[in-house]
Amino acid sequence: METASAIPVPLPTPNPVAVPADGVDCPVSGEPAVDFAGLKTKLQSYLKPEDVARVEAAYEFSASAHEGQFRISGEPYVSHPVAVTGIVADWHLDPQALIAALLHDVMEDTHISKQEIAERFGKTAAELVDGLSKLDKMEFRSQEEAQAENFRKMLLAMASDLRVILIKLADRLHNMRTLECVRPAKRRRIANETLEIYAPIANRLGLNTLFRELQELSFEHKFPMRYRALSKAIKAARGNRREVIGKVLKSVDERLPQWNITADVQGREKHLFSIYRKMVEKRLSFSQVLDIYGLRVIVQDVPSCYLAIGALHSMYKPVPGKFKDYIALPKANGYQSLHTTLIGPFGTPVEIQVRTAEMHHIAESGVASHWLYKDDEKTLTELQQKTHSWLQSLLELQSTSGEATEFLEHVKVDLFPSEVYVFTPQGRILSLPKGSTPVDFAYAVHTDIGNRCVACRVNNDLMPLRTELRNGDQVEIITAAHANPNPAWLSYVRTGKARAQIRHFLKGAQHEESVTLGERLLNQALRVYGLTLGQISTFAWDRFLRDRGVKSKKEILSDIGLGSRLPAIVARRLSHAQDQESGRPDVIKPKPASAILISGSEGIAVQLAPCCQPIPGDPIIGLIRKGKGLEVHRHDCTAIAKLRGDRGRWVDVEWEHSHGRMFDVTMRVLTKEARGVLARVASAISDADCNIQNVTMDQEQGIYTALNLTVQVRDRMHLALVMRAVRRVPEVLRIGRLKSDGRVG
């Protein structure tokens, strides 16, 4: 354990300005005494005297640093860090964590620096306080971005030291307990943030008691009227339903000893937020939610858990499909228990949980069990491994996520896992969020497996990659050496890791392709000045980059390819710099710029517009769209008519002679209503060596049918052959190519 400097610790100069804790002006209602004595008694129950003295020195330092500052309720501000420290002391955290809890706001709200904390209380405490401090001195574009960046800092600090998040959760819990003094709008915002971030993190770490209290407090402050109405309804129903649970409790107490099971049986009431969520998700009224009471049975060992379930099922009928074995398949946060629902007296369902005392400790305290209960080393080691695995996944998400908001989005995805358990071909069990697909499974196994995934087998049957996995499925991933992630995967993957890795790959691919496209566009623009990209000197490039504060030529080319810079402007400025170096007069040398050749298979940076579906042989024009690259349209596309005046974004493009791929195009075919007409049209298309991608049908005035057929053709000539073949079908009245405005032409 790290030692700090000698005690007593010299105190900082008091802060002369009184600042409310949350930055909102408010009246001060006095200075009630801060109960450090109660905290000290709690610390003496498990810490050595010298450690208690170090924590007391940190309290004196914190009290002096926060002198003159008050909470919005009027209490001295130091009462807050003392309360937070009391919460983490309940988990028996070590002295460094307790010191950090007492000092967690001094870097934000006072002049105290990280270096000063390190000198007085040790490097570890300083690192913990730094991980808990917000990034107030940085400038952000929005409140959301600032909040996301603060969360990213906190979560990454947590990945290196779990005590950071434990202190932060205790901090949030005390703030939620004292939220009444905050104005209603801010109260709702903080409550919503707690529900979306802090409560799920507490759940992910197995801190069940904390998780439930954060949910209840958030519900009370986010929806105060609903909370009060539901509280009133539960109190009214409590008398009748308590009679039912009393009968079940008595029966269980009598039955278990008959099976030689020693157990502690407890009645429990479902939390308000759980009832409310069930009402919302299943669209039930309160009277329809019958299982607001349950039982918890705590036994001596694992065999007794299964024996107790047998005894309970012999008393009351179990509800089919409601038995869950979290002992054989623990949750990701280490939670273990057997769950069953029984039909009790008067047909009332009763939820029952059966677990051992060790499982109960972990269910209530999660990773805090590492400090609280050190007797069950095997279970704690498994829990620590799972937690470590999740923390490592945060670091991996950080490395693949660009913006802080994107990182937070990926983390949020993983914080709401209603889990399914699936098997690898070797029999290893993987836990995934509900709704996960084989693509999520592939990335969970390994990033390279996900990136090279092309197909899958689920329970030995070939299935689409978008298939939703179910409990017990065995999944095998088929890979190919040259396969790459598909952008379409983002529409159905569920895990943060899969989403982050796909986006990371696509961004890298887009960057390389945009650089290549940028070179082609800039070369075309330079030809007007009688130059090529290879003729631009290092001097001209350096001057251009220096004037614009850009680090590399690749960044400029990528910006051009993505539409963030116009090639004509870059070309003019590069030409001017080149002329200044060579001493040539700065005049434009007009020359025809050759068109950029399009094959249709360039990748992400060059896209064929879906509105008009250009194919080889169509007259085309290129439009540089900001952030998207080059978009190729037909000349007569109505979707781009209003952009014709913005000449700087238009690029001359032509089709390459050998493109070697198929192109989608939609035809509209008007036919008479007749049996088998679709089959005859499809046969004609097939005879013309063409594949149908999609078909939709509309009935017009009862006697006509309009078929919208998306087909794959090589070029305009191939499309003409297909249309001629379809016209020969007797029932076809009219055929044409569907335009972007819905007309046929």
> Is 29:73 a contact under the CB 8 Å cutoff?
yes
pLDDT of residue 140: 41
Residue labelled with tokens 């952009």 = 643
Give catalytic status of residue 108 as yes or no: yes
Residues 527-550, mean pLDDT to the nearest whole number: 80
pLDDT of residue 136: 40
CA–CA distance from 44 to each of 51, 53, 446, 663, 703 (Å)? 9, 10, 47, 76, 90
CA distance 579 to 20: 62
> Lowest mean pLDDT: which of 114-128, 147-161, 284-298?
147-161
Per residue in 89-141, pLDDT (tens digit) is: 888 888 998 999 999 888 887 788 888 888 888 888 888 888 777 544 444 44
pLDDT of residue 353: 92
For residue 398, pLDDT over 90 is answered with: no
CA–CA distance from 246 to each of 207, 261, 263, 295, 484 (Å)? 29, 20, 17, 10, 60
Rg of the chain's alpha carbons, rounded to an integer? 34
CA distance 677 to 697: 12
Q: Per the structure block, which two tokens stand in for 156?
A: 């990454």
Catalytic residue among 22, 109, 664, 715: 109
Residue 297: closest CA among 330, 328, 251, 332: 251
Residues 603-629, mean pLDDT to the nearest whole number: 79
CA distance 215 to 218: 5
Residues 636-642, mean pLDDT to the nearest whole number: 77
Residues 6+ apart with CB under 8 A from 267: 245, 246, 249, 293, 294, 295
pLDDT of residue 196: 81
Residues 500-508, mean pLDDT to the nearest whole number: 80
Q: Where are the beta strands (DSSP E) in 203-337?
A: 263-269, 293-299, 317-318, 324-325
Give catalytic status of residue 664 as yes or no: no
Strands 606-608 and 629-634, how do they pair? Answer: parallel
CA distance 49 to 530: 83
pLDDT of residue 203: 81
Mean pLDDT taken over the chain = 78
Residue 232's CB is within 10 A of a number of other CB atoms, namely 10
CA–CA distance from 496 to each of 361, 401, 405, 432 (Å)? 29, 10, 13, 11
Q: Per the structure block, which two tokens stand in for 724?
A: 């001629």
Contacts 24+ apart (CB under 8 A), 484-487: 484/451, 484/509, 485/450, 485/451, 487/604
Residue 21: band (very low, low, confident or very high) from pLDDT cuts 50, 70, 90: very low
Q: Per the structure block, which two tokens stand in for 714?
A: 């090589």
**3-state SS assignment for residue 373:** coil
Angle between helices 496-526 and 567-582 (to 10 degrees): 50
DSSP code for 74: S
For residue 145, pLDDT over 70 is answered with: no
Residues 329-341, mean pLDDT to the nearest whole number: 84
Domains of the chain: 36-224 (1.10.3210.10), 231-375 (3.30.460.10), 597-655 (no CATH), 663-737 (3.30.70.260)
Q: Where are the beta strands (DSSP E) in 555-662?
A: 596-598, 606-608, 620-625, 629-634, 650-651, 653-655
pLDDT of residue 735: 92
DSSP secondary structure string for all residues of 5-35:
S-SSPPPPPPP-S--BTTS--------PPP-
Catalytic residue among 22, 90, 94, 108: 108
Burial of 594 (0-12, 13-18, 19+ CB in 10 A): exposed
Give the CA-trace dihedral at 353, 268, 222, 195, to 10 degrees: -30
Residue 518: closest CA among 651, 659, 610: 651
Of residues 544 and 691, more confidently modeled: 691
Of residues 627 and 482, more confidently modeled: 482
